[in-house]
């Protein structure tokens, strides 16, 4: 059991391809969304929820939480949760700090594909397949076409290798907590 996670989106041209592959392979994922991307992508967010994927928070403007005041943190997280809930009826229960900078409890990852840095689908595929283990949380980004290229190869391959693709919350529930 592993959790694929995607940060920074949604971006329809990328996220749609990922959702197609998840749907074709019976998988789910968690999407950590930037609030400023939410309103323009209502349809894809509704599709995430309809497919059983998890919608999650990645701040409104991709700001580092550690550099914000308490009011700034509340605004960044609260406005994103409100936007997501208004679109799909589900309020996120998870958040991930941009850049992994932490100031409070958050969902991290065990495999960082660094897909945002190299933007090479084969390198992302190789990173995941060489490191993946039961219980992993894999970090990718659903704003780069090369990440979708990697995901549409990884999703059926991971499924064929016997991995069940679940949301972060499902993984935590099955493992006894986050």
Q: Name the 3-class secondary structure at 54.
A: strand
- Which one of the listed residues 58, 60, 97, 141 is annotated catalytic? 141
Catalytic site includes residue 141: yes
Which of these, 97, 16, 24, lies nearest to 64 by C-alpha position? 97
Q: How far apart are CA 89 and CA 25, in angstroms?
A: 25
Q: How far apart are CA 131 and CA 2, in angstroms?
A: 12
- Which one of the listed residues 7, 115, 136, 142 is annotated catalytic? 7
* DSSP bridge pairs for 33: 57
Q: How far apart are CA 97 and CA 127, in angstroms?
A: 22
Helix (H) or strand (E) holding 49: helix 42-50
> Which letter does DSSP use for residue 79 in this model?
H
Catalytic site includes residue 62: no
Burial class (CB in 10 A: 0-12, 13-18, 19+), 120: middle
The residues that are catalytic are 7, 141
């Amino acid at each position: 059991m592993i959790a694929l996670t995607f940060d920074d989106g949604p971006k329809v041209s990328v996220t749609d391809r990922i959702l197609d592959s998840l749907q074709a392979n019976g998988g789910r994922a968690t999407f950590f969304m930037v609030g400023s991307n939410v309103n323009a992508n209502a349809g894809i967010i509704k599709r995430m929820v309809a497919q059983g994927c998890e919608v999650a928070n990645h701040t409104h403007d991709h700001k580092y939480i550690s550099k914000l005041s308490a009011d700034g943190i509340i605004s960044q997280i609260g406005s994103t949760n409100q936007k997501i809930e208004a679109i799909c009826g589900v309020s996120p229960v998870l958040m991930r700090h941009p850049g992994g900078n932490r100031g409070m409890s958050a969902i991290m990852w065990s495999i960082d594909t660094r897909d945002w840095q190299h933007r090479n689908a084969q390198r992302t595929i190789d990173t995941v397949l060489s490191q993946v283990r039961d219980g992993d949380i894999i970090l990718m980004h659903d704003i780069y076409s090369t990440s979708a290229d990697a995901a549409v190869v990884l999703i059926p391959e991971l499924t064929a290798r016997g991995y069940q693709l679940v949301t972060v919350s499902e993984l935590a529930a099955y493992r006894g907590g986050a």
